[in-house]
Structure 1
Amino acid sequence: MSTSPATDAAVDPALAARLPELRELYTALQARDLRLDLTRGKPSAEQLDLSEPLLALPGEGVHTAGGTDVRNYGGLDGLPELREIFAELLGVPTAQLLAQDNASLRLMWDTLVQALLFGVPGGEGPWSQQGPITFVCPVPGYDRHFAICEELGIRMVTVPMTPDGPDAEAVAALVAHDPSVKGLWVVPTYANPDGAVVSEAVARRLASMPAAAPDFRILWDNAYAVHHLTEHATKTANAIELAAQAGNPDRVVMFASTSKITFAGAGVSFLASSPANIAWFKEHLSFRSIGPDKVNQLRHALFFGDAAGVRAHMDAHRQILAPKFSAVTRILAERLGDAGVATWTDPQGGYFVSVDVVPGTAARVVQLAKEAGIALTPAGATFPYGQDPADRNIRLAPSMPPLAEVEAAMDGVATCILLAAAELAQSASR
């Protein structure tokens, strides 16, 4: 992750002098009657078309894999052929990887619900019977992680993200003496929304740090492990291996999926962890499922062939996505330059650009954009409970619209950022 130069905490009072000019620009923007959307990181139709051959697979008469008839019940672990492909990509043993149905979010939900109801290996019983529990949430972060915790009544405390991942010392201080702190959310590769990549040193610290809770877990949401925006394929730190080396083999539970690889609503999800955690998860999974959709897993295995096939497929995604992300950072630089009203990330992968505007103006920027026909993720969405204390962070998702729409939207967003800052400067000068 790289960023633009730092933004001053206070807006330049001289910006107030530009308010009439910026209001004229904004009026012209509204007159364009735009209908643009940068709210969520969805694959575009062009990206989905890359996987169109899946719809013809496995084909009539092709329904056996490894001696298993994929049309029938069973196979709780998932199809071995597909697990082998993604075990290589994720850096885990095939025996420690489950392939399930389309949503990794469901696996995260199931993991937490099972922990609340039954407890986890190495623990002292169900989490729900141990009083209020807490999760550590790096910010800015993924809104659906926060939503799961909020829905389940799990208290959230925040730590800042750095270019190398969560502030490991801040995390360590929280978990060392408080047994109610049961977990930590991490998106290790191209984090949502700032594109940070967890360094080997940070991963090692998180894997080895003392925890007051014997059943402390790191939920390692490796959603963007192969989602590169450059020719450099960033390697994810192997947290499961590091935790085992540190004597905490059950600490890390990894999640991944093909949602942004093939079809977002019809892919395959994965869960990887220690042998004890895998056995624990399967024990409870067996009561709600007799097995995943193995037909879909077979079509994915046939479509990819091997791990190299996945990498080649993701390179085709990169060719579509990279120009859109380049447009975002280029237009922000051209329009905002050294105005001191925003900083933004220049991610090397993933699906988002994180923008920090003048404190106290993020909600206003989103409102201005909405009134100009540009839908943005709500301000505060990247923080627990939807509350950004500084009212500063905005997540941009340029993947779905065509390039021309991304460019139009970003030009409008830049106008809104400048206008909101100028309004604040005028207010402060009174």
Structure 2
Amino acid sequence: MPADQLAERLTALRADYEDLQAKGLELDLTRGKPGADQLDLSEGLLSLPTGHRDRSGADVRNYGGLEGLTEIREVFADLLGVDTAQVVAGGNSSLTMMYQVVTWLLLHGAPDSPRPWSQEEKVTFVCPVPGYDRHFTMLAELGIDMVTVPMHDDGPDVPAVRALVADDPSVKGMWLVPTYANPTGAVCSTEVAADLMAMPTAAPDFRILWDNAYVVHHLTDVETKSADALGLASASGHPNRPIMFASTSKITFAGAGVAALAASPENKAWYLKRLSYAAIGPDKVNQLRHVEFFGDADGVRAHMRKHRDLIAPKFAAVQEALSARLDGLGVATWSQPVGGYFVDLNVMDGTAARVVQLAKEAGIALTPAGSAFPYGNDPDDRNIRLAPTFPALAEVEAAMAGVAVCVELAAVEKLTAPVVE
């Protein structure tokens, strides 16, 4: 637009924004939590288990069974496309299992490490961006450096990853959410996964932490299958490279589900040895409860279709609100995910923090700008993660209509700002 039209548009947008503020909204799109109606789908868990013995006859109320019940491990194995023997079923949090793995790598090193990672001069992780903020804050808390690579629709930028790992032995690991990635919704292709598992690395103990948090979280009838990370790694001669994580946190109760780890025999034995000093066994009562509730992996898949029916309209509402206001303006792009829990919004460079501020002042809480980058630093100040699952549908519609106003207002403010010499 020419300058006079932009000025007129700014005036109109400010009026729209004042109307938005006058509504007195109190809406929250900050975290990818299940809504209460989703949690209600699992209410039957509270009357389970009906007994207290597993298939082998062991009393689940007692100590023991460090790797978890065979029955729940079979369910995870089916969902993850791995062998039951590769699975450890744990407590309610896969994030806890990830933290254990990274901490134990620092303290003890991996089975193929020349020394504990903490004895290295520096430890660095490759972080595809935009990515999961809790992965990054975990590394920062543990003093691990982070370097970024772009996340594409088919997974991380392989040439960029190769360049980082080829000659620098301090690059010890990499995060990856391979299916319906947080926040972009990208799916790592088999070709990209194969390249990551086969590539030469300067560090002999390089690990890919394969966080398959959304492996069954489909938003359409097309149920994308995850790449076979463990199989590809074994075939490439690097069986210990990936360690896989998953949980039922967004399947049953977010705070009372079951988490799992899957890995090569050597990695699994390493994990269980470390775990044996910290635990005598997981909550097998809760594991049995989940086994009875689902029956098998197909029971999980059927349950997830109920989730889809509840949240797919919320994702559609995000698309409708953004398209209605912003299509054709050239000030924003956004993902159209077919699974997962987020929509990735990219606004005009230099305006993401302003969008979040405007939204906050209008009663709409958004995840802080830059959260999907290590150290909270988005060098272009353009990325915002939207989490539409927790609010009611009407609240998502109201919040996203408001967000769209904030995106356009921030863009026009920037375009009409005086040029500073």
TM over 0.5: yes
Contact between 2:125 and 2:172, CA under 8 Å: does it hold in 1? yes
Residues 398 and 406, structure 1, Cα contact 8 Å, conserved in 2: yes
In structure 2, what is the equivalent of residue 35 of structure 1? 26
Q: Secondary structure of the equivalent of 1:196?
A: coil
Q: Does 1:407 align with 2:397?
A: yes
Report the equivalent of 1:125.
115
**Structure 1: gaps (5+ residues):** 1-10
Give 1:123 deviation, angstroms.
1.1
Given that residues 38 and 397 in structure 1 are in contact (C-alpha distance below 8 angstroms), is that contact kept between their aligned partners in structure 2? yes
Normalising by structure 1, report the TM-score: 0.96
Q: 2:207, 2:136 → 1: CA distance?
A: 16
- Indicate yes or no: 2:27 matched with 1:19: no
Structure 2 counterpart of 1:203: 193
SS at match of 1:161: strand
In structure 2, how many angstroms separate the alpha carbons of the residues matched to 1:250 and 1:64? 31
Q: Select which of 377, 384, 387 maps to 1:394.
A: 384
Offset at residue 331 of structure 1 (A): 1.1
Which of 213, 227, 232 is equivalent to 2:222? 232
For 1:291, the equivalent position in structure 2 comes to 281
**Conserved 8 A contact 2:52-2:59:** no
Matched residues, percent identical? 65
Query: Aligned ranges for residues 96-245 of structure 1 at < 5 Å?
Result: 96-245=86-235
Letter in structure 2 aligned against 1:49? D
5+ residue gaps, structure 2:
none
Is 1:312 paired with 2:299? Answer: no
Three-state SS of the structure 2 residue aligned to 1:69 is coil
Cα deviations by residue, 1:285-337 (Å, 9 ceiling, x for unpaired): 00000000000000000000011100000000000010000110111011111
* Residue identity opposite 1:284 in structure 2: R
**TM-score normalised to the size of structure 2?**
0.98
Amino acid at match of 2:323: A
The one-letter code of the counterpart of 2:233 is: A
Q: Which letter does structure 2 place at the counterpart of 1:287? A: Y
Instruction: Write the deviation string for residues 164-209 of structure 1: whole angstroms up to 9, x where unpaired.
Output: 0110110011001000000010000000000000001100000000
Q: Does 1:257 align with 2:244?
A: no
Corresponding residue of 2:73: 83
**What are the residue-to-residue correspondences of 1:65-76 with 2, within 5 Å?**
65-76=55-66
Cα-to-partner distance string for 1:376-406 (whole Å, 9 max, x where unaligned): 0000100000010000000000000010000
**Contact map agreement 1:12 1:340 (CA 8 A) in 2:** no
Q: 1:45 corresponds to which residue?
A: 36
Q: After TM superposition, what 4+ stretches of structure 1 lie above 4 angstroms from structure 2?
A: 11-14
Decide whether the 8 Å contact of 1:341 with 1:357 is kept in 2: yes
Matched, 1:342 2:332: yes
Quickly say closer, same or farther: Cα 1:150–1:257, change in 2 above 3 A: same
Taking the aligned partners of 1:160 and 1:55, their CA distance within structure 2 comes to 43
The whole-number CA distance in structure 1 between the counterparts of 2:206 and 2:54 is: 40
Match of 1:3 in 2: none
Partner Cα separation in structure 2 for residue 297 and residue 16 of structure 1: 61
Across the aligned residues of Structure 1 and Structure 2, the Cα RMSD in angstroms comes to 1.1
- CA deviation map 1:258-284 (0-9, x unaligned): 000000000000000100000000000
Cα contact 1:15–1:421 (8 A) shared by 2 = no
Residue of structure 2 equivalent to 1:4: none
Does the CA-based 8 Å contact 2:52-2:61 persist in structure 1?
no
CA contact (8 A) 1:77 1:98 kept: yes
Residue 374 of structure 1 aligns with which residue? 364
Q: Following the alignment from structure 1 to structure 2, what is the Cα–Cα distance between the partners of residues 394 and 12?
A: 28
Q: CA deviation at 1:63?
A: 3.5
Q: Do the aligned residues in 2 keep the contact of 1:87 with 1:97 (CA within 8 Å)? A: yes
Rounded to whole Å, the distance in 2 between the matches of 1:94 and 1:428 is 63
Q: CA deviation at 1:125?
A: 1.2
**Map of 2:319 onto structure 1:** 329
Q: 2: distance between equivalents of 1:428 and 1:254?
A: 51
Query: Contact conserved, 1:51 with 1:263, CA < 8 A, in 2?
Result: yes
